[in-house]
Structure 1
Amino acid sequence: PFLEGLVLGTQLTTAADLTVPILIENDGNAAALAEHWRGNLAGTMNSAMVVLGTGVGASLFLNGQLYHGSHYVAGEPSFMVTNGLTPIMREQTAAGLSAVATINAMADALGVHEEPIGQHVFQALTDNTSEAAVILGTFTRGVAAMIYNMQTVLDLEKVIIGGGISAQPRVIKEIRDGIEAYQQVTSLSARTIRLPVVEPAKYRNAANLIGAVAPLVVRG
């Protein structure tokens, strides 16, 4: 919060006594810029990157351009309402969708404590009925619902998944299956809603570093 309202580019330029311009970008947007530049979003006109970490971030490309919104706050799906039919509470939003919290809960259920904990959790996850599998399924269904909601409005060509958990093929498959399940809820949605291609990001956790360079290179 201490950064809110701060013109960080100006502050950095003054503090470092630099004469070159400094561009500031959200880390999720930077990751998406890398993927759109040379990664798995390259060549798309209408697409998105969803980053799964402590929360959920999203970046949109509309008509081939990164979309920032009128107040520069586009791409915060953690605030999305996923169930508007019950009394208004935090539980009816996507605020609880955390890959980090999901991995930690799965680790506790499996009794896994070795580092890197994420890799060991998925090595130990061998079935679809254990407590850990149920925890993962709740998370991936929530992400699938979020992406499906985006798709009903935007009709995207492709959605790529970022964050450390995206390296797990099971996670990507469960998200794809969940999106398809929502599409099939009614015969009309099954006929009407075209599903996007869903795949992991090419650059994984390095995407935001690569994307920090992309605007400077692309703009010349």
Structure 2
Amino acid sequence: MFIGIDVGGTAIKYGVILRTGEIVKKGQMPTIHEKENFLQSIEALIKSLQQDAVIEGVGISAPGIIQKDGTMTTAGSIKSLYGINLKLELEGRVKLPVIVENDANAAAIAEKWLGHAQTCENYLCLVVGTGIGGGIIVNNRLYRGSHGMAGEFGWMLIDSLPEQGNLESVSLNQRAAIVGGLCHQYQLALQQLGRSDLPLDAIEIFQRGEQGEVVANQVIAQFFQDLSVGLLNLISTFDPELILIGGGISENDSFMAKLEETMSQLKARHESIGYLEGRTIAPIQRAKLKNDAGMIGAVYQLMNQ
């Protein structure tokens, strides 16, 4: 058996996973952003799970640019992990083999193993959450790029550039992610109106839209348009067989339905893409393994080493 750990900006999901990919035990805990306390919490988790099962190794999926050797060039919002070799840090503490993989890469790998991409050779997997990460599979192999940075789709710029300031204000991360995009843009819109009734999460924003709130519906429409523009750019660049959408929001049927509707509208207005629709344009589909994909993919990587 293996331990799969999926590190997020706010929570860490974990599970005990069989060689078949079946998760026999799972749970989650808050993410600690201070380095030493973070490492201690992961160490304690692993040792606790070892009390009930014989563990062969630990597969970790995490945000950021991650080198093959486990070095965290970046780590998303967990700034204290930038530059550390998480693999070596944990192996020294728990005396088990550890692999560390980018979360979107891990999700893409999991979908090839047990999900909707089992018959695909070339596909993309997007994890839409705090930001937007991506996994790229080309000819049945994970494409990492020269520095492990491939798949940072959230950095793509999709709009007119501001004259000054941070260009990431018009990136997918700040326009089409959930926390960094939808929630952020809604807060900005409310602030411009002098309102302070900020929602807690995306679900509340969607609920306000369903209740007829004009601001919410304007932000939601722009959010789906921005995400669809990003997806069309990726389709044009990679010509994949399939694009899979992961992240917690992908489990929402209304989200997927609205995304498909917006994609259809934009494809119809793009002459070249519209002509190829039904011929070469990749379909968009919800990832099968949902929130378990990261830990399953990381364990699969470990099993194959």
Residue type at the aligned position of 2:127 = V
Structure 2 residue aligned with 1:30: 106
1:41-64 deviations in whole A, cap 9, x for unaligned?
A: 222111111111111111111111
Structure 2 residue aligned with 1:2: 80
Residue 91 of structure 2 corresponds to residue 91 of structure 1? no
Gaps of 5+ in 2: 1-78
Gaps of 5+ in 1: none
Q: Structure 2 length as normaliser, TM-score?
A: 0.60
Root-mean-square deviation over aligned CA pairs: 2.9
Selected match of 1:206 from 266, 275, 292: 292
Question: CA–CA distance in 1 between the matches of 2:203 and 2:211?
Answer: 16
Point out the structure with the larger strand share.
2
Matches of residues 168-183 of structure 1 in structure 2 within 5 Å?
168-183=252-267
Structure 2 residue aligned with 1:21: 97
Structure 1 residue aligned with 2:90: 12
Residue 133 (structure 1) shift: 2.5
Question: CA–CA distance in 2 between the matches of 1:91 and 1:122?
Answer: 22
Equivalent pair of 2:111/2:118 in contact (CA under 8 Å): yes
Question: CA–CA distance in 1 between the matches of 2:138 and 2:198?
Answer: 42
Equivalent pair of 1:180/1:195 in contact (CA under 8 Å): no
Provide closer, same or farther for how the CA distance between residues 52 and 12 of structure 1 changes in structure 2, counting only shifts above 3 A.
same
Equivalent pair of 2:98/2:302 in contact (CA under 8 Å): no
Equivalent pair of 1:160/1:198 in contact (CA under 8 Å): yes
Q: Secondary structure at the match of 1:33?
A: helix
Question: CA–CA distance in 1 between the matches of 2:204 and 2:160?
Answer: 37
Provide closer, same or farther for how the CA distance between residues 172 and 69 of structure 1 changes in structure 2, counting only shifts above 3 A.
same
Structure 2 residue aligned with 1:53: 129
Question: Percent identical across equivalent pairs?
Answer: 26
Residue 186 (structure 1) shift: 3.9
Residue 135 (structure 1) shift: 1.8
Provide closer, same or farther for how the CA distance between residues 179 and 161 of structure 1 changes in structure 2, counting only shifts above 3 A.
same
Provide closer, same or farther for how the CA distance between residues 190 and 118 of structure 1 changes in structure 2, counting only shifts above 3 A.
closer
Provide closer, same or farther for how the CA distance between residues 83 and 124 of structure 1 changes in structure 2, counting only shifts above 3 A.
closer
Q: Which has the larger radius of gyration?
A: 2
Equivalent pair of 2:133/2:154 in contact (CA under 8 Å): yes
Question: CA–CA distance in 2 between the matches of 1:84 and 1:192?
Answer: 27
Question: CA–CA distance in 2 between the matches of 1:61 and 1:31?
Answer: 11
In the alignment of these two chains, the number of paired residues is: 213
Point out the structure with the larger helix share.
1
Matches of residues 15-164 of structure 1 in structure 2 within 5 Å?
15-16=93-94, 18=95, 20-83=96-159, 87=163, 89-97=167-175, 98-100=177-179, 102=182, 105=186, 122=206, 125-126=209-210, 130-164=214-248
Q: Secondary structure at the match of 1:43?
A: coil
